[in-house]
Amino acid sequence: MKVTIQKWNTVATWRWDIPEEDVCGICQVHFDGTCPTCKYPGDDCQLLSGKCGHNFHMHCIMEWIKQESSRGQCPMCRQPFEWADQNNESAGQIE
Amino acid sequence: MAMTVTNSKVHARRQKVFRSVFETRISQPTPLLPATEPGQPFGGPSAAFLANTPRLTHPANDQVRWDRAWHVVTSRIQLPSSVAAEDSFGTLAPESSQDVDDAFRSSLLLVLNPASALPNASHTEDILSWHSQQVRQHFVNHVLPLLAACTSQGDHTQVLLTSIRTLEAANRQYLYGLSLILRAFHDEDAANAAVVKFRRDLHAVIGNSWTQGLLDALRDVFNRLATDILKAGDMQASSPEPDREKDSEASDSRGELLRILESLSKVGLAGEKFQTLFAEVMNSCMDAFIQRNYAGVWASSDDFGASTVSTVFSGCMAHLGDWVENHYARLTVEVFSRMGSKIEWSDVEMWKNVAISRLSTLRIHELFDIVLSWPESKGGVEDLRSAVTTPQRRLQLTDTFSAALQKRLLQPGRSTLYILQTYISMIRTFHSLDGSKVLLDRVVHALQLYLCQRDDAIRIVVTGLLSHPKETTPEDSKGKLVELAAILNDASLQQRRHVDDDDLDWNDMHWLPDPVDAGVNYKRPKNEDVIGTLISALGSSDIFIKEFQSIIATRLLSGQPSIQQEVKVLGLLKRRFGESALQNCDVMLRDIQDSKRVDAAIGKSLELQQDQDGNSISFHSKILSRLFWPSLPKEPFTVPETVAEMQRQYEASFEHLKSSRKLNWLDNLGLATVHLELEDRTLTIECKTYEATVIYAFGQDEAAGEQGPVKRAFNDLWQQLMIDEDLLEEALAFWVSQRVIRDIGEQTYVVLEKLEDDVENAGADAAQATGEMEGGPPSPRKAKGMSAKEQEQRGIYWQFIVGMLTNSSPAMPLAQMMMMMKMLIPDGCSWSNEELQDFLEEKIAAGELELAGGKYRLPKK
C-alpha cells in the first residue's frame, strides 16, 4: 500500500516568544491575552520588551510612561525604561 | 297531676292546629241506602218533593233535607272507589236517567245554597271543597299506585306516555265531577273561579306527585328529542347543502316534543319541577353540543367564514353564537310559549354568554393539545382570545395548563428536544393568545425549573441556532431544533427586534397599559421573541455562554467553509448578554478570519519552496489565541515526516510574518486527506489527522520488500508514533471500518490489499464496521473514552476529596462529601450522587480509598 498525504489541515495556537514571565506586570493579565483596553489579542495588543528584560502590554506601559510619577522608569525594576528593537530581536532569534 | 293536665292541653292544642291545617272532619259521602221511597223512616221526602215544598221550614226538617240532598249529590259525583287497570276509571259514569238528573240538580241547589234554602240546617258543608278533598284522596290512593306501576315499565317513552294517559284519564274524571256541580252555578264568574281554584288544587297535587321513574323517563325522552332537534345546528349541517333527512328528523322530533309538552301542561305536570328538569336537559344539551361540535376542532376562522354572522367573534365562537340564537333559543322559546311564559332577549344573550364560557372552558382544557398542534390550531386560540378576558378566567387557564404541563410534558419520558419544541410552540401560542406575555410567564416557571435539570437542553438550543435551515433535510433535522435557525434567519422577525422599546416614547400610538395581573417587574414585550424567551428559560447566562463557546469551538474547527451562521448567532447573543460576556467568542471568530488571511500569506511563500522540493501536500492551519478558546486538548504524537517538514516551514514563515510569536501545534485536531493505493483499488479519504498518521505508518515499510501485506502490532504503533492509546484505538477502528486494514487478532492489524481477502470474516467485520460507523468515532468504552476535560475534572475532584479526608474529617459518608464538594469547589460540582459514588468505587477498586461502615476514608499507610 502506498499512502500519500494530500491535504493537512491542522490547528495551532500562537504565543509570544518571551522567556519567563507570563503575566503583564501592570495589568496582571496573561501576555497572550489582552490588556484591559483591548478586545483582540495579538496584532491589536502588542507587547513591548524593555532593555531591562521586562515585558509589558504595549498599551499598559504607554499609560505608565505617560504618567508624571513614573519618571520614565520600568515599573518592575525602576531602571529607565527603554524598549528593545523588536524586529531585529525576533529576526535574530529566527536565524 | 299537673303534668297530665298540661299534657292533655298540649295534645288538644296540637289537634286544633292540625285540624286548622288539614280538614279531617270533612265527611264521607253518606252510604247509599237501598230504599229511597218517600215515607220511609230514613228515606225522608224525595228530592223532588223537597224542591217543591221550600216553605216547610223546621230546623230538624231542614237538617234532614240537607242531609238527603248532600247524600244525593255526593253519591252522584263520588269517584269510583277502586281501580284495577289504568283505564278502569277512565269511563265516565253512565248518563243517568232524566229523573235522577232532576233529583240531582235540585239536591245540588240545596247543597250549594244551604243558607237561603235551608236556613235551619245546623250542619252544612261546602260541596266544592268536599269534591277537591275527595279528588285528593282518590289521587293518592288510586292514581299514584298506577303511576308507580307505569314507571316500572322498561321503555322510557312508554313510561311517559302511559303516565300521561293515566293522568289525563284521572283529570277527565275529576273535571267531570266538577262540571256536574258547576251546572248548578248560574253566576259564570263564580263558576270560573271555582274551576280555576279546583285546577290549581289539582295541579298542586299532581305537580307534587313526580316519581323518580317518571322524572328519569321524562329527562331521557326530552334529552333525546332536544338532542335530535339541536343536531340541526351542527357544524356539518351548516354546510351549503343541508341534510334533508336530518332536517325532517329534527322537525319530527320537534313535533313530538311539543305534543308531549302540551299534554304535560294539560295534566298539570308543567309546573316548577318540570321547568327545572327542562333547564337541566337544555343545559346538558348545550354541553353535549359544544363537546360534539368543537372538541378538537381548531380550524382557523377562514375555513367557515361564510357562515359567520357576528363580527366580534370568529370561528367556533361565531358558529356557537349563531346556534344559540337560531336553534337553542328557538326551541326554548317554543317550549316556554307552550307553558305560557316568555323568553326575554336578554335571556338569549345570557345563554350566549354561558355557551361561550363553556366553549372557552373546553378550549382551556384543550390548550395543551392546541399548543402541540400549533400552528394548525390557530382557530382554537382565536376562540380563547375572544373569551378569556377576565382575570379569573386567565387564572383558570394558567392553572389548568400548568397541571397539563406537569402531567404530560415534564416527565422523564419526554426527550429534551421534545420539551423544547413544545416550549417553542407554547411561546408562539401564548403570544397570539395574549401579547402581554403574562400568561406565559405564569405557566412557564415549572418548565424552566425542569429544563435546568436537563443537561443537554443548552446544547440542543445552541446547535439548533447554528444549524442551517435550508440545507437540512428532514432526516437531518430530526435531532435538532431547526425551527430556531429558521426564526433566526427570518428577516421579518429580526427587524422588529431592533425597535427599542421605551416607556417614555410618547409617540407610541400602540401603547397599552400593563395587564392587571402582571407581575412587579413587568415589561411588555414587543414581539413573540421565541429565541430570547427560550434562552432566558435555560437558567443562568454563564452556563449558556460556556456551552455556546464549546459548541462554537468544535464547529469552527470542523472545517466548515462558512462561519456566517456563527456570526449571526453571536450577534444575537451579544444583544442579549452584552458584548463583554461574549468577548471570547468574538476573538474565536476573529482568529478564524485572521488565520485565513495569514494562512493564505504563508501558503504563498510555502508554494515557492514546494515547487523546488516536488512536495505536494497542501498544508493549512488555523492559528488560535489559546486563552480565548475553551480547553483545547493537546495530544501530541509523531506526525509523518513530510508533515513535520511542512510544519517547520510553516512555523518559520509565521514567525517571520508575526514578529516574536511562536506556534504550538495541536496535531490531534484537524483534518487530512489521504490517498491510498492498494493492489485492487485506490481510495481518497478525508479523515482526522491522527487517523492519517496511523495509516501512514502502515504505508511506510513497503520499500523494505517484506512478503505479503504490511502487518502492524498495536504496541509497535503506539511506541513508534508516541500517540495516545485512545486515539490509536479510534484510528485503527476507523480504518477497519473503511476496510483498509483488518484485525487479525492479538492486537495486530494487516493491510487489506485486496477486498477478497476480507471475505472469510467479512460478516463479522461488516457488522462491527457498521456498528462503529453508527456509533461514531468515539470509542464505546466509556471510562477510556473520557475527554481530557473530564479527566482533568476528575483529577481536581480527587485532589479535593483527599484533602477533605486528610484535613477535615478522616471518614465521611457519601452525602456529606457531596455537600462539601458542592459548596466548596469554586465552580461547583457538576456530578450527581451516583456519579460520585461510581468515581469513589473506582478509587476503592484501585486501592486508593476504603469504605467502612458507609463512610469513606483513606487507607492507612
- A14 close to B (CB below 8 A): yes
Q: DSSP H helical segments within B373-481, as ranges?
A: 378-387, 391-408, 416-433, 438-453, 457-466
Look at B618 and A6 and tell me if their CB atoms are within 8 Å.
yes
- Region B831-846: what's the mean pLDDT? 85
pLDDT of residue B477: 52
Q: How many CA atoms lie less than 13 Å away from B118 in the CB half-sphere?
A: 28
- Give B8-33 as a DSSP string: HHHHHHHHHHHHHHS---PPPPPPPP
Look at B627 and A30 and tell me if their CB atoms are within 8 Å.
yes
pLDDT of residue B468: 67
- A43 close to B (CB below 8 A): yes
Each residue of B288-336: pLDDT tens digit?
A: 888 877 777 776 544 444 443 334 455 677 777 777 877 788 888 877 7
Task: Please say whether the beta carbons of B741 and B732 come within 8 A.
Answer: yes
Query: Looking at chain B, which residue has its C-alpha nearest residue A1?
Result: B678
Residue A48 is part of a domain; what is its CATH number?
3.30.40.10
CB-closest option in A40, A47, A93 to B590:
A40
Least confident of B296-305, B447-456, B569-578: B296-305
**What is the fold of B671-775?**
Arc Repressor Mutant, subunit A (1.10.10)
Q: Is the pLDDT of residue B69 over 80?
A: no
Least confident of A17-21, B126-130, B200-204: A17-21
Q: Higher-confidence residue: B859 or B537?
A: B859
Residue B504 pLDDT level (bands cut at 50, 70, 90): low
Sign of the C-alpha dihedral computed for residues B750, B752, B754 and B755 taken in this order: positive
- B586 close to A (CB below 8 A): yes
Q: Is the pLDDT of residue B497 over 70?
A: no
State the residue for C-alpha cell 299514584.
B144
Determine the Cα angle at B59 with ends B53 and B64, to 5°.
65
- A12 close to B (CB below 8 A): yes
Number of domains present in the structure of chain A: 1
- Region B689-705: what's the mean pLDDT? 73
- Region B797-815: what's the mean pLDDT? 84
Q: Is the pLDDT of residue B474 over 70?
A: no
pLDDT of residue B35: 44
What is the percentage of chain B residues whose pLDDT exceeds 70? 74
Each residue of A38-86: pLDDT tens digit?
A: 888 888 888 888 888 888 888 888 888 888 888 888 888 888 888 776 5
- Amino acid (one-letter) located at B715: N
Residue B665 pLDDT level (bands cut at 50, 70, 90): confident
Interface of B with A in 547-566 (CB under 8 A): 557, 559
CA distances in angstroms from B199 to A40, B176, B717, listed in the order given: 102, 12, 114
Average pLDDT, chain B: 73
Each residue of B108-166: pLDDT tens digit?
A: 777 777 667 666 666 777 777 777 788 888 877 777 777 777 777 667 777 777 777 77
CA distances in angstroms from A47 to A32, A54, B627, B659, B730, listed in the order given: 9, 10, 16, 10, 41
For B502, the grid coordinates are 421605551
Query: Looking at chain B, which residue has its C-alpha nearest residue A90?
Result: B660
Q: Higher-confidence residue: B649 or B36?
A: B649
Each residue of B520-560: pLDDT tens digit?
A: 666 666 666 677 777 777 767 777 888 888 888 888 887 77
- ipTM of model: 0.83
- B665 close to A (CB below 8 A): yes
Q: B675 vs chain A: nearest CA distance in angstroms?
A: 5
Q: Which residues contact B344 (CB under 8 A, 6 or more apart)?
A: none
Q: How many CA atoms lie less than 13 Å away from B591 in the CB half-sphere?
A: 26
CB-closest option in B625, B666, B753 to A42:
B625
CB-closest option in B557, B655, B699 to A1:
B699
- B602 close to A (CB below 8 A): no
pLDDT of residue B117: 67
CB-closest option in B625, B647, B670 to A9:
B670
Residue among B585, B596, B625, B673 with most chain A CBs within 10 A, to mutate: B625
Each residue of B324-343: pLDDT tens digit?
A: 877 788 888 877 777 777 77
CB-closest option in B586, B660, B670 to A11:
B670
State the residue for C-alpha cell 498525504.
A5
Residue B48 pLDDT level (bands cut at 50, 70, 90): very low
Q: Higher-confidence residue: B637 or B234?
A: B637
Task: Please say whether the beta carbons of B635 and B647 come within 8 A.
Answer: no
- Region B620-645: what's the mean pLDDT? 82
Q: Is residue A9 part of a domain?
A: no
Look up the pTM and report it: 0.62
Q: Is B501 strand, coil or helix?
A: coil
Q: Is the pLDDT of residue B646 over 80?
A: yes
- Region B687-699: what's the mean pLDDT? 84
Residue B642 pLDDT level (bands cut at 50, 70, 90): confident
Look at A4 and B674 and tell me if their CB atoms are within 8 Å.
yes
Q: A57 vs chain B: nearest CA distance in angstroms?
A: 13
- Amino acid (one-letter) located at B471: E
Measured in whole angstroms, how far is the alpha carbon of residue B528 from the centre of its chain? Answer: 22
Q: Higher-confidence residue: B818 or B48?
A: B818
The domain limits of chain B are 47-126, 211-367, 368-500+519-579, 671-775, 788-857
Q: Is the pLDDT of residue B759 over 60?
A: no
Domain span at residue A56 reads 20-84
How far apart (Å, rounded) are the C-alpha atoms in residues B727 and B376?
Answer: 50
- Region B241-258: what's the mean pLDDT? 70
Question: Does the domain formed by B788-857 have CATH 1.10.10.10?
Answer: yes
Q: Is residue A94 part of a domain?
A: no
CA distances in angstroms from B503 to B435, B517, B522, B523, B524, listed in the order given: 17, 19, 12, 9, 9
Element of type H or E holding B673: strand B661-677
Q: Is residue A73 part of a domain?
A: yes
pLDDT of residue B792: 80
Interface of B with A in 623-662 (CB under 8 A): 623-629, 632, 640, 642-643, 646-647, 652, 654-656, 658-662
For B621, the grid coordinates are 492551519
